[in-house]
Amino acid sequence: MGLKNDPFVVADTVSVLDVYNTSDPNVINLTPANPSAVVSTVDVCIKQPQKTQVSIDSMAQIAVLGLTMMGQTFAVTYELLRNDTVIATINDEMDYESVVQGRHNNFPNSPLVDDNPIAGINTYDLRCTSVTRPTVGFVLIGSRSLKATVFTL
């Protein structure tokens, strides 16, 4: 039993109740020692690459837990990878004024159609990298999702 020409979906989703709860094992802290992390992964099996497109939707909740009363600037790079090769990049630089905890959230998403998958298992990853950290504080990854919808043409 299997799908014929109907699209099928593979997804990896993590929900976090409080992105500022750094003791939650699902919250990822991008530190100077570990500034980069693969935050979501899906595997897709492709049988006929010349007749297949993979529509990829991704999102990641980015939060900053600042420890100072002054404004901050920080940058995060989001990369979509297929089999460890970057196929799309978003560079996101954010400025914010100092306010109470819970106000510095960003939910970038990156839709993409992969017209060139290879035959066999294709592993798609969403990787986040803290490029410029806040002067004093933390860049946190909370809820995130990576969804691949496979279409046979």
pLDDT for the residue 6? 67
Whether pLDDT at 95 is above 90: no
Instruction: Check residue 143 and report its DSSP letter.
Output: E
State the residue for tokens 């297949």.
52
pLDDT for the residue 105? 67
Q: Tokens at residue 58, please?
A: 């991704």
Give whole-number Cα distances, 107 to 7, 60, 61, 134, 135, in Å: 26, 6, 5, 18, 22
Task: Give the tens place of pLDDT for each residue, 19-74.
Answer: 889 899 999 999 888 899 999 999 999 999 998 999 999 999 988 776 555 666 77
pLDDT for the residue 114? 94
Q: How many CB atoms are located within 10 Å of the residue 97 CB? A: 11
Ordered by where they begin, the domains of the chain are 8-152 (2.60.120)
